[in-house]
């Protein structure tokens, strides 16, 4: 499953094609080819036709797109929608020329002005889509009139209310969480630290790959628990370092993942433990081990991680 670096890479590549801030792109028509992908907001889906896309962002492993519908008759206010997409296990979100051949398993097409399309392809169908009114619209007509008329008033990030509506886990963002908050969040926990890191209600965006790589750099075994404050501070820095390096490398393309331009990532060539069972540790030469924790694999060096 794409993790934070892959989703962030997709968002950044979308921003090169779709607007942010003052620049806008027109969404002429939203075409749903597999209705099962739309998990909520079916009643709002037709309202996306003719919208302007005003922003693209990420919350954990989720991608959101802000869309502003045209103002209605007699001065009725425009409405702002949040379009949410989760890539699941095999999802791809790419910008294609409208004339390009349609790949198999393309389940949603967002027809853009300029003969372009934003296509959502997902062979395994674990991805999902949802649509809700933006927070400025959720309180009724007064809020809509006050907050949704111009793109400058559209919040640049999802509100807690919107995240609850969209079903996004409430965990902290690894690239934003402060040292004291991180230590407080994980100090004294008896669960293996690998499991805790992958709990999206605590810290969202990490999965197998980046939890393994972060623990290795911090010198912490995946089974370790009740970690001291100094070890947790070291782990927080390792997580940030790994994620930032992975984003710069365009993420890890192990199976289906590509960015919105169809480009594969390169960070898989920098993995130090993930997927390297039996291979020598890059630090000490000991064979990398693989164990199972709560049904998920964990890769680590038994010598360097304690």
Q: Which residues are catalytic?
A: 2-3, 61, 296
Alpha helices in the chain (DSSP H): 4-17, 141-147, 160-166, 179-186, 193-197, 208-218, 229-248
Give the chain's count of helices (H) and strands (E): 7, 11
For residue 160, count other CB atoms closer than 10 A to its CB: 10
Q: What is the 3-state secondary structure (H, E, C) of 17-56?
A: HCCCCCCCEEEEEEEECCHHHEEECCCCHHHHCCEEEEEE
**Residue 110: strand pairing partners:** 30, 118
In this structure, is the dihedral angle defined by the CA atoms of residues 294, 215, 305 and 196, taken in order, positive or negative?
negative
Q: Which residue has the tokens 């922003």?
A: 55
Q: Which of 192, 224, 195, 211 is nearest to 305 (CA)?
A: 224
Give, to the nearest 10 degrees, the angle between helix 208-218 and helix 229-248: 130
Are residues 55 and 70 in contact, defined by beta-carbon separation less than 8 angstroms?
no
Instruction: Spell 252-282 as b/e; 16+ CB within 10 A means b.
Output: bbbebbbbbeeeebebbeebbbbbbeeeebe
């Amino acid at each position: 499953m794409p993790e934070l670096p892959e989703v962030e890479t997709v968002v950044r590549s979308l921003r090169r094609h779709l607007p942010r801030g003052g620049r806008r792109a027109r969404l002429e028509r939203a075409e749903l080819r597999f209705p099962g992908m739309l998990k909520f907001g079916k009643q709002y889906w037709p309202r996306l036709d003719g919208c302007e896309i005003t922003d693209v962002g990420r919350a954990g492993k989720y991608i959101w797109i802000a869309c502003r519908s045209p103002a209605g008759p007699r001065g009725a206010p425009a409405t702002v929608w949040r379009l949410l997409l989760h890539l699941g296990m095999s999802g791809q979100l790419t910008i294609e020329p409208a004339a390009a051949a349609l790949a198999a398993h393309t389940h949603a097409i967002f027809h853009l002005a300029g003969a372009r399309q934003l296509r959502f392809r997902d062979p395994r169908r674990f991805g999902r889509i949802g649509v809700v009114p933006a927070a400025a619209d959720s309180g009724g007509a007064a809020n809509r009139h006050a907050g949704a008329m111009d793109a400058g008033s559209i919040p640049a990030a999802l509100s807690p209310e919107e995240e609850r509506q969209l079903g996004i886990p409430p965990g902290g963002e690894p690239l934003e969480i402060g040292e004291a908050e991180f230590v407080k969040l994980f100090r004294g926990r008896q669960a293996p630290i690998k499991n805790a890191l992958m709990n999206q209600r605590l810290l969202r965006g990490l999965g197998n790959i980046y939890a393994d790589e972060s623990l290795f750099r911090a010198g912490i075994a995946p089974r370790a628990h009740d970690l001291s404050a100094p070890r947790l501070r070291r782990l927080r820095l390792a997580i940030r370092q790994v994620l930032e390096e992975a984003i710069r490398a365009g993420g890890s393309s192990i199976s289906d993942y590509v960015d919105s331009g169809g480009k594969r990532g390169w960070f898989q060539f920098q993995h130090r433990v993930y997927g390297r069972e039996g291979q020598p540790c890059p630090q000490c030469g000991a064979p990398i081990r693989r164990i199972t924790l709560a049904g998920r694999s964990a890769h680590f060096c038994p010598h360097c991680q304690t």
